[in-house]
Amino acid sequence: MTQDADCEKCEELLQAYLDRDLTAEEVLVAEGHLEDCDYCRRRYRFEAHLRRFIRISASERMPAGLMAKLAQLRGPTVDGL
């Protein structure tokens, strides 16, 4: 495969790789490419950090004061909209 084709294949596998939902053969393909390709390795790191950030952010409760301030900024709402 050419580098572009390898990158395209890695792109196809990336989300499943992060989910640990690949076959052993696909893991070897993804890891082999990530080892050799700086661009795809940076994409992988970005996606992994983004997932971690979202997981942490979703588990932290928003302080009550901030929730009240946001509600105030949002203004009155009309039911059904």
| Residues 31-45: tens digit of each pLDDT | 999 999 999 999 999
Alpha helices in 2-80 (DSSP H): 3-18, 24-36, 38-59, 64-74
Domain positions in the chain: 3-74
pLDDT at 80 over 50: no
| Residues 44-76: tens digit of each pLDDT | 999 999 999 988 877 778 788 888 888 888 876
> What size, in residues, is the chain?
81
| Residues 6-29: tens digit of each pLDDT | 999 999 999 999 999 999 999 999
- The candidate with the shortest Cα–Cα distance to 27, out of 47, 48, 10, is 10
Phi-psi map region of 80: left, alpha, beta (phi>0 left; psi -120 to 50 alpha): left
